[in-house]
Chain A
Amino acid sequence: DTAVSQTPKYLVTQMGNDKSIKCEQNLGHDTMYWYKQDSKKFLKIMFSYNNKELIINETVPNRFSPKSPDKAHLNLHINSLELGDSAVYFCASTLRQGAAKEKLFFGSGTQLSVL
């Protein structure tokens, strides 16, 4: 009965490969996110998505693309992986984006290592 689940937990791959990380939430939330946490623990928002709008952080390379088959899923696809993509990627969701007390629920993270 995990609220926000993402797979895989660990992903080790070679430079240049394409990979995907999956995320699912069973909370009935209408907005999902992807965050990247680097080795210094800095949490940076990558994407925000609800059924109406995809919001992209302009600093995210276009090799990264979110794909949402339905409201409960937001997958992250990464093309042509680079060494600098190594990080922990967190999926998160919130009940209603922009609510006064916007509380994010995070998945357990995917540790991506690019060799």
Chain B
Amino acid sequence: GQSLEQPSEVTAVEGAIVQINCTYQTSGFYGLSWYQQHDGGAPTFLSYNALDGLEETGRFSSFLSRSDSYGYLLLQELQMKDSASYFCAVRVFLSSGSARQLTFGSGTQLTVLP
């Protein structure tokens, strides 16, 4: 089958570092994406990993280990505005169609405390 698992909630304080894990099970793998969604807002793209290793974009980094079917999003120097839901996503085939579709995990609610 196909599945994505990530923790439902994570809490941290301002200035800290937090890691949000994601494990996946798919038939075929075409990269792991991360999206951020603030309450009442739209999901926005954060990062994409197709190969093993760490990708850094400012305070955010994303890591992938294909052999472990595992990735994580690392947020450094946390700020209050980082409080949001974070979704990992992979592309999978639906029952119909010739292209894989982006399928999201259930999301991790990050709360940053002062």
Contacts and interface: CB of A to CB of B under 8 A. Distances in A.
Interface of A: 33, 40-45, 48, 53, 55-58, 90, 97-98, 100-109
B99 A45 contact: no
Interface size class of chain B, counting residues whose CB lies under 8 Å from the partner chain? 20 to 34
Interface of B: 30-31, 33, 35, 37, 41-45, 48, 50, 85, 87, 91, 94-104, 106-107, 109
Given A40-B106, A90-B43, A106-B42, A58 B94 contact: yes
Contacts of B85: 41
13 contacts: A40-B106, A41-B37, A42-B107, A43-B87, A45-B103, A55-B99, A100-B50, A101-B31, A102-B102, A103-B33, A104-B45, A106-B42, A106-B44
A65 to B, nearest CB: 15
Contact of A43 (B33, B41, B98, B104): B104
Contacts of A97: 99
A53 B102 contact: no
A78 B37 CA distance: 25
A103 B48 contact: yes
Nearest to A107: B42
